[in-house]
Amino acid sequence: MRISEAADACGLSADTIRYYEKSGMIPPIRRDASGRRRFSAADIDWLTLIYWLRETGMPLRQMRRFFTLAQGGPETIPERRQILTDHASELQRRRENLDKCDAVLAIKIASYDQPKPKVTP
Amino acid sequence: MRISEAADACGLSADTIRYYEKSGMIPPIRRDASGRRRFSAADIDWLTLIYWLRETGMPLRQMRRFFTLAQGGPETIPERRQILTDHASELQRRRENLDKCDAVLAIKIASYDQPKPKVTP
DNA sequence: CCTTGACTTGGAGTGACTCCAGCCGATTAC
DNA sequence: GTAATCGGCTGGAGTCACTCCAAGTCAAGG
């Protein structure tokens, strides 16, 4: 797979993939004879996970940590699991924020329908 | 109210409030004799709305647009309402993303518990 | 009067991209 | 066969939304 196909497959842009490779959040991608990246299915899997972590706001620092651990052996699994479960709790917090914001928006929008509530009309 | 109190009240940092004032997303705040900002209750209300919009990822460009409209008369209400309802749909999209990411995380976490599914053992 | 602490400004630094110039190699068009 | 086009390469500049800092002002407390 070439970078444009990889980008389509995982949802990240080609620029972002190159940037992630440069900054060590994904393994160095294999190159063909003319120096172009060729992505394996495993690369795509990794990029897809990264895509979802990013999409829900995981900082790159933490992704990098996760990647470094994944390079190590299975003894790093507990910490990897911890990072993912921590992120899952973060998602819960975000969901609550969305709810709160929904409420604020609903109140604000409603206030446009009843623009000036008179005091004892 | 002074800036530190305003920051506590709305959830934004003092630096962020100053930045938002500089870049025209909130009205210029009244100053006291020695040039310090004094925040009214209306200022805090505005900042609190801004806080929730930002917290759920509204770009500053759009907040600025919304603020500019709010400076205008009630004839800008339809567009203001539109911005808020658009943002509410965006929140819905984000909520779906969170769900999707939850699923991806659950699968990944589960894979640590059953690390190597043997093919017909 | 001196210190402390909260505030002011302008400007530099950061994270995470995003875009672009200028180059190279492969494919297609004539 | 060679010209044009396409996709990809690198390094570096630009952007967005802060965040931090230096250097200065001002007010209150001891």
Residue-range domains of chain B with CATH: 3-113 (1.10.1660.10)
Cα–Cα distance measured from residue A71 to residue A10, given in angstroms and rounded to the nearest whole number: 21
Q: Looking at beta carbons, which residues of chain B come within 8 Å of A105? A: 52, 84-85, 87-88, 91
Whether A16 CB is under 7 Å from strand C:
yes
CB atoms B101 and A55 under 8 Å: yes
Whether A26 CB is under 7 Å from strand D:
no
Cα–Cα distance measured from residue A52 to residue A66, given in angstroms and rounded to the nearest whole number: 14
The single-letter code of the amino acid at B102 is D
Confidence of residue B117 (pLDDT cuts 50, 70, 90): low
Query: Model confidence over A27-84: pLDDT tens digits?
Result: 999 999 989 999 999 999 999 999 999 998 899 999 999 999 999 989 999 999 999 9
Query: Model confidence over B27-73: pLDDT tens digits?
Result: 999 999 989 999 999 999 999 999 999 998 899 999 999 999 999 98
Residue A95: what pLDDT? 92
Residue B118: what pLDDT? 57
B59-67: long-range contacts (C-beta < 8 A, 24 or more apart)? B60/B23, B60/B25, B62/B87, B63/B25, B64/B23, B64/B24, B64/B25, B67/B24, B67/B25, B67/B26, B67/B27
Residue B114: what pLDDT? 74
Could you tell me the distance in Å between the CA of residue A4 and the C1' of nucleotide D22? 47
Q: For residue B34, give both structure tokens.
A: 């020695």
Q: Is A100's Cβ below 8 Å from some Cβ in B?
A: yes
